[in-house]
């Protein structure tokens, strides 16, 4: 009987030791998970989309990632500068960040190339996916990439329709855009037939920079042949120097500009259709959280941003333009 009790006691003691080991292991693993610190490289390639980073950080905080404690951000900003963007992205890779977050399209395309062969996941936002080979498919983007789609072609058409609504008698729309920009063809494929149907001539002027836009205006453009200027979703027209050139020309000849909401110096547009950048950043943060929880980026479905309409009622009034009630009711934001 004594031997039996000894065996039972040994079993009980060993069981307690085993349970203790399991308990300690759980605590250690739990502490390891909680103490994980993430490093995220963020590259904002255009000031127009800068608030995206703010939305991203805000949502990450909501999700429990506290800056300076369990997450650190290396936020870099450029303004349409490909060579600088390459160097920044290469540094992110060299620093072995846990995630790269980029916007808009051209920066994201460059990031996709630079992370190839690494295990660093990439989230893009404010990026067109039509005709640019950024992803394989929306449900399964492939590689180590996912993101928030910028609905460029849809927005281009909506900008055209609203400008036509505000200036219904206009027959000639001037469009400047970055020469060779990969997201342009998919937009023009939709805009050209829409313009023909509306009886509007699109005067398309590709350029490389603000100086070339200035030359085009001086040498090719006659103000009395332009009824309105349409800004389509692309980088050059919303770059500050380029917009100042376009804005000065438009203000001098009282030509309305519409498409992207811009205000620099004394020059401003009458409306903008884009996305809510802060909201886009929050969408991207949800994707980042999924990646940090263990889901491969390439298997996370790409989401699409919603369009956001802003009406600059004040600027329209200065030009003597009327904004009808139906358009005002559609607006997410009205500037008076």
HEC letters along 97-126: CCEEEEECHHHHHHHHHHCCCCCCCEEEEE
CA 79, CA 113: separation in Å to the nearest integer? Answer: 20
Chain-centroid distance, C-alpha 44: 9
**Which pLDDT belongs to residue 258?**
98
Q: What are phi and psi of 204, to 5 degrees?
A: -90, 125
Average pLDDT over residues 242-259: 97
pLDDT beyond 60 at 257: yes
Contact 136, 302 (CB under 8 A): no
Which pLDDT band holds residue 33 (cuts at 50, 70, 90)?
very low
Domains of the chain: 36-150+276-306 (3.40.50.2300), 153-274+309-335 (3.40.50.2300)
pLDDT at 31: 45
For residue 6, pLDDT over 80 is answered with: no
Mean confidence (pLDDT) of the chain: 92
* Rounded Cα distance, 312 and 303, in Å: 29
For 160, phi and psi rounded to 5 degrees? -60, -45
Residue 259: DSSP 8-state: B
Query: Is the pTM higher than 0.75?
Result: yes
How many C-beta atoms lie closer than 10 Å to residue 67's C-beta? Answer: 12
User: With contact defined as beta carbons under 8 Å apart, do 141 and 300 qualify?
Assistant: yes
Q: How confident is the model at residue 9 (pLDDT cuts 50, 70, 90)?
A: low
Q: What are phi and psi of 176, to 5 degrees?
A: -100, 145
Q: Which two tokens stand for residue 191?
A: 């805009």
Q: According to the model, what pLDDT value does residue 311 have?
A: 97
Q: How far is CA 79 from the centre of its chain?
A: 14
Residue 257's contacts (CB-CB under 8 Å, 6 or more residues apart) are 228, 229, 231, 246, 247, 250, 268, 269, 270
30 Cβ neighbours under 8 A, 6+ residues apart: none
Two tokens at 176? 């400047």
Q: pLDDT per residue over 280-308, tens digit each?
A: 999 999 999 999 999 999 999 999 999 99
């Amino acid at each position: 009987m004594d031997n039996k009790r000894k065996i039972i006691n040994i079993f009980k003691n060993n069981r307690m030791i085993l349970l203790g080991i399991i308990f300690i292991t759980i605590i250690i693993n739990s502490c390891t998970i909680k103490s994980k610190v993430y490093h995220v490289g963020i590259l904002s390639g255009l000031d127009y989309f800068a608030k995206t980073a703010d939305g991203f950080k805000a949502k990450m905080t909501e999700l429990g990632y506290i800056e300076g404690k369990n997450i650190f951000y290396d936020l870099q900003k450029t303004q349409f500068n490909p060579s600088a963007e390459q160097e920044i992205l290469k540094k992110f890779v060299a620093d072995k960040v846990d995630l790269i977050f980029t916007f808009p399209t051209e920066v994201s395309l460059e990031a996709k190339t630079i992370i190839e062969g690494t295990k660093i996941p990439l989230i893009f936002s404010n990026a067109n996916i039509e005709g640019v080979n950024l992803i394989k498919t929306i449900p399964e983007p492939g590689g180590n990439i996912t993101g928030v789609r910028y609905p460029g072609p849809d927005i281009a058409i909506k900008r055209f329709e609203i400008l036509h609504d505000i200036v219904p008698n206009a027959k000639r729309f001037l469009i400047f855009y970055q020469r060779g920009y990969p997201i342009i063809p998919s937009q023009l494929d939709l805009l050209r037939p829409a313009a023909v149907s509306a009886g509007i001539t699109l005067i398309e002027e590709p350029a490389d920079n603000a100086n070339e836009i200035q030359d085009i205006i001086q040498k090719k453009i006659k103000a009395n042949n332009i009824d309105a200027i349409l800004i389509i979703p692309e980088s050059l027209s919303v770059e500050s120097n380029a917009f100042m050139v376009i804005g000065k020309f438009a203000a001098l000849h009282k030509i309305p500009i519409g498409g992207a909401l811009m205000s620099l110096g004394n020059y401003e547009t009458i409306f903008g259709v884009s996305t809510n950048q802060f909201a886009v950043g929050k969408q991207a943060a949800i994707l980042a959280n999924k990646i940090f929880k263990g889901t491969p980026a390439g298997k996370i479905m790409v989401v699409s941003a919603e369009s956001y309409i802003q009406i600059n009622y004040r600027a329209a009034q200065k030009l003597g333009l009327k904004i009808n009630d139906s358009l005002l009711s559609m607006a997410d934001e009205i500037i008076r």
